A = this chain, B = another copy of it.
Amino acid sequence: MKISEVGERKLVDDFLSTLELPDGVFPLFDDTQAFRVGDQLLSFKVDTFVFSTDRPKALSPYDCGWKAVTAVASDMAAKGASPYLFACSLSLPGDTEERDAKEIEAGMRDASKKYGGYLIGGDTGEANDGVIAVAGVGFHANGSYTPRKARRPINDGDLLAVTGDFGYAPLGLSYAMGELDLPEPIKSKALSAFARPNARLRSGLALSALGAKASMDSSDGLALTVHELLALNGLRAEVEKLPTDEDLLNFFEVKGLDPLKYVFHGGEEYELVAIFPPESKTAMKPFGFTPIGVVYKDENAGRIDYRGSPIPPIGYEHFRKR
C-alpha cells in the first residue's frame, strides 16, 4: 500500500509503536521528548514544514522559516519548556533563488530569537521539494513537564482552557487564497495569525504553577486537539464558550459564515489546550488562558459537545498542492 493511502496519522502511530525508551520516565509520544540531565529537565523535538503540502503560495519564504521554528517552539510551550537551541535541515529545489533561501533563514533566525533561543545552523542542500525540518532543545526551568496524559487524577468539573483566539489563522488562509474578503482589523489579525503565528511560551511557562494536569499544542486544529486530549485522558467535554473574540463572532454573523467551521476545524493555530482544576479559573487569565468548558470522566472518551451539540473530531484539510 502507498503511504498516501495509509495516511500520515497511522504511519506515525505505527512507527511510534516500534520504539521504546527504556528509562522513559517521560512519555515517548508527547509534544516533545523530555529527558533528564543531572537535576535538569530538557525537551527535544523535531518538526517539518513541507512546501508542497504546507505552503500556500501566500506564505513568503520568511513566513515559512518563521512557522517552521514556531511549530517547535509551540510544542515546547505546551510542555512548559523554554527553547534554547534550534537547528535546521533546509532542503530546497536547485532553482530556488538565493534571496529566497536567505529569507527562509532570516525567518528561522528571527523566530528563534523571538522565542529566546538560538539558531545554531544546520544542513542546507538541494531536493525536489522544499523541506524545512527544525529540531529544538529546550529547558524546563522549574523542572516540571505537563504531559498530554495526566499523571494526577482529573475530576469531573475540571476546566478545559485554551490560549488565543481561534479562527483567525484559517480565515487568513482563506483571504490569502482569494476565497473571501476581510475588513480591518480582522484582516490584519487573520494575516498575522496565518503567516506569523506566535508560540505561547509565556502561557506554557505558567502551566505548572497554575496546576495544569494535561496540555497539548493545538496546531492540528481545535476539535482534533481537544478530542485527542480527552480521549487520552478518558474524558468528554462540554464546551460553552467559543474561544475567539467578539470582532470575529460579529463578522461570522454578518457574513453568514459558520463560526464552528473556522474555530473548531481550522488549524495552524499555535495555541495551547490544557486541563486545569476549577480553582485555577481566575489565576489562569493573566497568563492568557480562557476557560471554554468543563470535562467529565466518560466511557466513550473523546466526545466534545458545544452547547449540547456534538463537535466531530475533524481537522483542516492539509493545504495540498495549492
Contact = CB atoms under 8 A, between A and B. Distances in A.
Copy number in the complex reads: 2
Contact of A98 (B6, B39, B125, B137): B6
A94 interface: yes
A44 B134 CA distance: 12
Interface of A: 1-4, 6, 8, 11-12, 14-16, 18-22, 28-29, 33, 35, 37-40, 42, 44-48, 50-53, 84-85, 87-89, 91-92, 94-98, 101-102, 105-106, 109, 118-129, 131, 133, 135, 137, 139
Given A33-B87, A37-B42, 7 more contacts: A3-B126, A6-B98, A28-B120, A44-B137, A46-B135, A50-B127, A53-B126
A123 B44 CA distance: 13
B35 A38 contact: no
A13 B21 CA distance: 36
A29 B121 CA distance: 8
Contacts of A125: 8, 48, 50, 53
Contacts of A22: 118
A1 B270 CA distance: 34
